[in-house]
Structures are given as C-alpha cells and as structure tokens.
Amino acid sequence: MATNCVPAAAAADVCANCGREGGDGTKLKSCMACLLVKYCCVDCQKAHRKQHKRACKKRVAELKDEQLYSRGHERPEGDFCPICTLAIPLPVVRHSGIMVCCMKSICDGCSAAAGRRGMSRHCPYCRTPMTCNKADQLAMVQARAAKRDPAAIHFLGLTYFHGEMGIQKDIRKAVEITEEAAELGSVEALSHIGYWYTEGVGVEVDEAKGMEFSRKAAMQGNAGSRHFLGMYEFEKCNYDLALRHWMISAKLGHELSVEAIKNLFVKGLATKKQYTEALRGYQDAEEDMKSHDRDLAKKIKSERL
C-alpha cells in the first residue's frame, strides 16, 4: 500500500511507496528532482509517481527560487580589472576598455595610469603592441575565439550583431555565436542572449528561454540581468519578487536598481528600512570601486567633453 509523500529527512530509511525500510541489503534512492522522498526500486518510484508529482513539482520550484535568490551576490570575475583587481563600475563597458589581444577589460584608471607611464601604445595587461587597424584587431579576436576563449567568442558574437570591424551584420549568426560563448562560461553572453530572447531583439520572442538565460547570468553575479529580472517581475505586479532582485543588484552597484527601490518606497511597496539598506549597499559598492587613478581618469574624461 502506498504511503504519503514524506520528506526524506523525516523518513530517511523508508520507501515512500511500499514502506520498506532501508538496510539489510536494501538501498533506498532519493527522488533526484526534489530529494523529498526515497524509493527501494524503480517500480516503486513509478507506482508512486502520480501521488508524488504535485509535491515534487512544488519542491523543485522552491529549490529553484532558493538558488535564484541565494546566488549571485558577488560580481563575476570578468567584472574586475585584472591590474588593480577592483570591480569595474557599472556599466562595465562605459568604465573600461576591452583589449582584443588578451580579451581583458581594463578599467579607465589603469589605462590612464599606463599612458602616464609611456605605455599608451601597448596593452596595459599583456604588453602586446596596440593597433588601430580593424582587420588586425579582428584577426586577434578570431585567433582567441579559435582557441575557444569565451570572452573572444562573445566579442565576436557582438561584432556580428552590430556589424562592426568590417563584418557584415548577421543577427542569426550573432545569436548562434553568443550562445556558444554562454555555453563556454561567458556570463556577459548569458546576459545578452537572455535579453535578446525575452525582448525579441533580433530574434523571435522566446520568453521562457530568455528568462532561463537571464536567471543563469544573475546567479553568477551579473547585475544587469538581476535588474532585468526585477523589471520582469515588476511588470507582472510581483513587487515582492522585484524588490528581492533589486536589493541584490543594488548592492552590486547597479544605480537603476536603487532608483527602482526608491520608486517602490514612494508608492508604499517597499519599507524605508529596505530602501535605506539598498542605498547603503549601493554606496558601499561604489566606495569599493574607487581609486586615485580612476578619479584622475574621470576628471580627464569630463574635461574633454
């Protein structure tokens, strides 16, 4: 006779279907999806599937949520300048330059410091001579992409997406290449492909696929994807979920997330304590990203405008 679905922790040595106890040669195996129950054999698992299905699906969803909100509280490695080792202010592309020779993102502060030391014609990181020739730059990227460098493949995907460096714009190929970069571990590629599919940017809308990519990026610390998830929940009026996402991205240094939480606070959808926590977290992140060289670079850039 079948038993009720009992958490494995509470009935660690009992088959959820037949009640058979483990031990004495009987090895019980947990349901690999939810880990709530155990079975003595495949037949018992199949027999119990209909009864267990609802509880299993509910627990799987809970586990996904636990992972989604418990992970991604630290920026990914690619968001840090390899020279000064500080996180690069967001958005990264506005405060750094990517070196096509080594595919490293060098913050404006370190680039400016290298220039003051007479190294403006060489990569500040790997010392490779720089070139303004687009064909030569593309060749460097392609060489690294051929060696399956995720950052190079992602860069190449964006090049096809925008039609730059002498390459003809090809959205389909851009998506294909960017997905490859995502599979190889590029968090930025995950973020881009997630946004493209969810919003239908250059591709047919596939919200489920897009959100899956965005969740993966957010769980690896991509602040942009985390903020995007918050916007997604906000548009569905899931304000509590939106707030949870934005609290994380605000503390990663995402300014728009702080503004979004402020908006929730003004509307009575977030508490003063939550807004204060988000603001302080954002300010702490900003403080941790400051340096003398970055301040100088910012001053020089503003004077040129």
Is residue 202 domain-shared with residue 157, that is, in the same domain? yes
Q: What is the CATH number of the domain that holds 157?
A: 1.25.40.10
| The last residue of a domain, from among 203, 220, 237 | 220
**Digit-coded pLDDT (tens) for 268-291:** 999 999 999 999 999 999 999 999
Query: Within a domain: residue 279?
Result: no
Q: DSSP class of residue 94?
A: G
| The last residue of a domain, from among 220, 249, 279 | 220
Query: Within a domain: residue 68?
Result: no
CA atoms within 13 A on the CB side of 125: 20
Cα gap 159→152, rounded to integer Å: 10
**Digit-coded pLDDT (tens) for 7-37:** 444 446 899 999 888 887 788 988 888 888 8
Query: Within a domain: residue 304?
Result: no
Cα gap 57→55, rounded to integer Å: 6
Residue from 123, 119, 95 nearest 291 by CA: 95
Is residue 158 domain-shared with residue 207, that is, in the same domain? yes
Q: Which of 21-35, 91-105, 256-270 has the lowest mean pLDDT?
A: 21-35
- Output the CA–CA distances (angstroms, integers) from residue 40 to 10, 22, 25, 220, 235, in the order listed: 16, 8, 10, 37, 46
Residue 129 phi/psi, 5° resolution? -60, 135
The total number of structural domains in the chain stands at 3
Q: What is the CATH number of the domain that holds 101?
A: 3.30.40
pTM of full prediction above 0.75: yes
Is residue 124 domain-shared with residue 185, that is, in the same domain? no
Query: Within a domain: residue 292?
Result: no
Which domain, by its residues, includes 151? 146-220
| The last residue of a domain, from among 163, 195, 220 | 220
